[in-house]
């Protein structure tokens, strides 16, 4: 974080100081006392299962130079008392980002969507780091706590700030946009991920639209033209719209970044980029047609920031993976390939992963899908798991292994199709699934492992590939 006095921080969060108000601090802002290093700032937040105030002394013992808390405690370092720790994080981030922006040339890129946020964030980082000092969240720091903490990592040298923005309710992105005020905002998709929180798809679309709704006319909104709910957002923003999507045979658009001739192999994903001048081939080492869309969004966004197109493509082609457990290609014994995509799962991302599996194999080798529960679907959970089971059959996947009670309807829906006889197996837990799969495997098989994080199948994927947990 930039260097600030304790009093300046207190003013930013509308708090009061106990201790030395004139002390200067510039350490990393953290909410996890276990990660505190000398000079850091510890923000004590109450939680559902624990309370950060219990760990203030531990944070101070580890070297915290300042504590922000919601109540008074006796500590030998300055303490800022704020009425709400979560709001204090946003208030402090707003001041810090504003100061850095005013003092230099920092540009802010924000990204949201039901699927693809983290991958696109990583692609943006890969490109922008070649252009200058870049701050981006590690992992999925995208909520009302994680996003401001990421923003607080900027300093006077920062040229690009990337903010991943997730939402649990209408209004969440409005708050984050007011803190970061992006120069470029990307909307990837509006889908069924986390629909249990929003209630229906239209509420999801309303929530996602907030990232572009309040942008000034000088900003750029990068929108998925292939998603009708996303493309409609051009009508609610004053920002300049730029588009990305797959070739649909329509007339070329000068402000669109289009992918044609998408090709998947076990070496990655290739496509032809169509934008303005000569068509060019882009060869990603990352697997999946859906990652083509993420790459297009990235290219459109960095182009709006003035990054040379060739430099952007080169940086994307150098990436060896999108993120741990996201369509991660893992070699296994006997020429088996594991595609570990079990960090998260929604109906849309699971369908995309299955289509990628089918494209990769296409009768050349056996396709095995290992699927677990898709969480946070609310009342739609049963229906959407059924749809995935039916899709597995339609795609002619050779073998299905369904893991865990929460995913059982995938298995039931698959075996209900008259064309299937023994191609689906249900395993109650990870150990049972591992034994089943090991008995099934043949040389050259491609195994897709897909589930929500809570189902834990990412560890099964690693185990199948011989990666120690």
Task: Give the per-residue pLDDT at 255.
Answer: 81
Q: What would the pLDDT profile of 132-157 be if each residue is shown by its tens digit?
A: 999 998 776 788 999 999 999 999 99
Task: Give the per-residue pLDDT at 252.
Answer: 62
- ∠ CA(299), CA(138), CA(307), 5° rounding? 25
The pair of structure tokens assigned to 16 is 């009061």
* Alpha-carbon span 310 to 389, nearest angstrom: 41
**Helix ranges (DSSP H) in 214-271:** 228-231
* Alpha-carbon span 391 to 409, nearest angstrom: 13
* Alpha-carbon span 297 to 150, nearest angstrom: 21
* Residue 390: strand, helix, or coil: helix
* Alpha-carbon span 107 to 89, nearest angstrom: 21
Domain ranges of the chain: 4-83, 88-318, 328-464
* Residue 109: strand, helix, or coil: strand
C-alpha distances in angstroms, 241 versus 84, 107, 109, 237? 36, 17, 14, 8
Number of H-type helices and E-type strands within the chain: 16, 22
Q: Quote the CATH superfamily of domain 328-464.
A: Mur ligase, C-terminal domain (3.90.190.20)
Task: Give the per-residue pLDDT at 396.
Answer: 92
Task: Give the per-residue pLDDT at 250.
Answer: 65
The pair of structure tokens assigned to 427 is 């395993």
Give the other-Cβ count within 10 Å of 192's Cβ. 24
Instruction: Please tell us whether the domain made up of 4-83 is placed in CATH 3.40.1390.10.
Output: yes
Which residues of the chain, if any, have pLDDT below 50? none
Task: Give the per-residue pLDDT at 318.
Answer: 94
Q: Options 1.50.10.20, 3.40.50.2300, 3.40.1190.10, 3.50.50.60; which CATH number does 88-318 get? A: 3.40.1190.10
Residue with tokens 């991660």: 328
Task: Give the per-residue pLDDT at 321.
Answer: 78
Concatenated DSSP letters of 10-51: HHHTT-EEES-TT-EE---EES-GGG--TT-EEE--B-SS-B
């Amino acid at each position: 974080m930039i260097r600030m006095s304790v009093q300046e921080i207190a003013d930013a969060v509308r708090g009061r100081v106990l201790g030395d108000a004139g002390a200067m601090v510039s350490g990393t802002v953290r909410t996890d006392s276990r990660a505190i290093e000398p000079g850091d700032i510890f923000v004590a937040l109450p939680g559902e299962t624990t309370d950060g105030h219990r760990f203030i002394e531990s944070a101070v013992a580890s070297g915290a130079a300042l504590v922000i808390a919601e109540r008074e405690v006796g500590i030998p370092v300055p303490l800022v008392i704020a009425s709400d720790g979560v709001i204090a994080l946003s208030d402090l981030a707003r001041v810090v980002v504003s100061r850095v922006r005013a003092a230099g040339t920092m540009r802010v890129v924000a990204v949201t969507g039901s699927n693809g946020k983290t991958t696109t964030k990583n692609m943006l980082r890969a490109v922008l780091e070649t252009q200058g000092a870049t701050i981006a969240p590690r992992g999925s720091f995208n909520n009302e706590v994680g996003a401001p903490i990421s923003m607080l990592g900027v300093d006077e040298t920062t040229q690009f700030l990337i903010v991943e923005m997730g939402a649990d309710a209408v209004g969440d992105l409005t708050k984050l946009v007011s803190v970061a005020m992006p120069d470029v905002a990307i909307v990837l998709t509006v889908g069924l991920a986390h629909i249990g929180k929003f209630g229906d798809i239209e509420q999801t679309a309303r929530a996602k639209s907030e990232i572009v709704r309040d942008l000034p006319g000088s900003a750029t909104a990068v929108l998925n033209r292939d998603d009708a709910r996303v493309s409609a957002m051009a009508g609610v923003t004053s920002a300049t719209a730029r588009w990305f999507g797959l070739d649909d045979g329509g007339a070329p658009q000068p402000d669109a970044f289009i992918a044609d001739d998408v090709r998947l192999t076990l070496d990655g994903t290739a496509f032809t980029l169509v934008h303005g001048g000569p068509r060019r081939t882009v060869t990603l080492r990352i697997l999946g047609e859906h990652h083509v869309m993420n790459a297009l969004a990235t290219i459109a966004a960095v182009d709006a920031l003035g990054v040379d197109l060739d430099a952007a493509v080169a940086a994307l082609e150098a990436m060896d993976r999108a993120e741990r457990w996201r369509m991660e290609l893992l070699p296994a014994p006997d020429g088996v390939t594991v595609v570990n995509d079990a960090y998260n799962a929604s109906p849309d991302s699971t369908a995309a992963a299955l289509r990628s599996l089918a494209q990769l194999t296409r009768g050349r080798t056996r396709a095995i899908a290992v699927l677990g529960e898709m969480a946070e679907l609310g009342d739609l959970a049963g229906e959407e798991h059924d749809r995935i089971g039916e899709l597995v059959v339609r795609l002619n996947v050779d073998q299905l292994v369904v893991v865990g009670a929460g995913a059982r309807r995938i298995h039931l829906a698959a075996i209900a199709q008259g064309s299937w006889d023994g191609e689906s197996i249900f395993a109650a837990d990870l150990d049972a699934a591992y034994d089943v799969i090991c008995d099934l495997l043949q040389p050259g098989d491609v195994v897709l492992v897909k589930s929500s994080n809570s189902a834990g199948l990412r560890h099964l994927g690693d185990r199948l590939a011989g990666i120690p947990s």
